[in-house]
Amino acid sequence: MDALTVTVRLPKVVRCPIHLLSVLYAMKSSSFLLYSILSAAIVPYAAFVVGGVTPGGRYLRTITAAVSTGTWTDDLLRPSYAIEKIPLRIGHGFDIHRMAPLAEAGQPVVIGGVVIDHLPQKWTDAEGRYVEKGGVYETELGVVAHSDGDVIYHSIVDAIFGALTLPDIGQVFQDTDPRWKGCDSSKFMEHAHTVMADYGYKVGNIDVTLILERPKVASFKPAMKKNIVNLLQTTPGRVNIKARTHERVDSVGELRSLSCHVVMTLELDT
């Protein structure tokens, strides 16, 4: 079958290449394989080459996004082995990021898609960059990360991939790849949801344990939950968010890091 080129209009500003993946998935069908994007992510138009029939039906075997920094492939999320349609799958995700003074981190604390506004906190300067080594430096905090450093979103994506026996988020969206620099992690969530749905699953339930000493996040939890529910197209009764301190122990207790665990189930979507 000869290749067919389809041109679609994209926004003039695309924050990161993951925006393009939703377009690719939306255009797939049981007869065609969307094979590559020919134009850069920052231009208003993108051309797609649509090729021949695929043995795997509706599943994409390869997605290539040609952007200014290189080529992105989705082969990792389409393994050679079969992912059986068992009724229930369980996944666990974990993430940890350093926290530092906001000016050093270069970006705010974002958790569950919510910017955590806060007053200056007592951050332990373990390396003595601002005060005596091991002393306390009062400062607004930011997260040191390649993307926006959202530990809840990263843990959920990791749990989805894990439940489906797919590689971890660090392999799929590598932190050495400049294309994901500063990327809004909601885009990772949207892509993970699309992958989950394509394999025939939906959210069973999600249990989040957020671990950080400060700032306090209780008032932000409802907005975090709402974001998760919307991004994964589920209901409030299937999403839970817990937060706890680390009793002033190690880097988390010294406000030098924050972490998150997620346990979730996927149900076969019948």
Per-residue pLDDT of the chain (270 residues; tens, 9 = 90+): 343 333 344 443 344 544 455 444 444 433 333 333 333 333 333 333 333 333 333 333 333 332 322 333 367 778 888 999 999 999 999 999 999 999 999 999 999 999 999 999 999 999 999 999 999 999 999 999 888 889 999 999 999 999 999 987 767 777 676 665 667 888 889 989 999 999 999 999 999 999 999 999 999 999 999 999 999 999 999 999 999 999 999 999 999 999 999 999 999 998
Q: What is the pLDDT of residue 29?
A: 35
In terms of C-beta distances under 8 Å and separation of at least 24 residues, what long-range contacts does 218-223 make, across chains too? 218/243, 220/111, 220/112, 220/114, 220/116, 221/112, 223/112, 223/113, 223/114
Q: Report CA-CA distances (Å) from 211 to 40, 71, 172, 219.
A: 38, 36, 25, 15
Query: Can you spell out the DSSP letters for 207-224?
Result: EEEEE-SSS--GGGHHHH
> Distance between CA 239 and CA 233 in Å, rounded?
11
Q: What is the pLDDT of residue 39?
A: 33
Q: What is the pLDDT of residue 234?
A: 98
CA triple 99-210-180, angle to 5 deg: 55
What is the three-class DSSP state of 268? strand
> Distance between CA 114 and CA 26 in Å, rounded?
27
Closest CA to 24 of 44, 3, 38, 43: 38
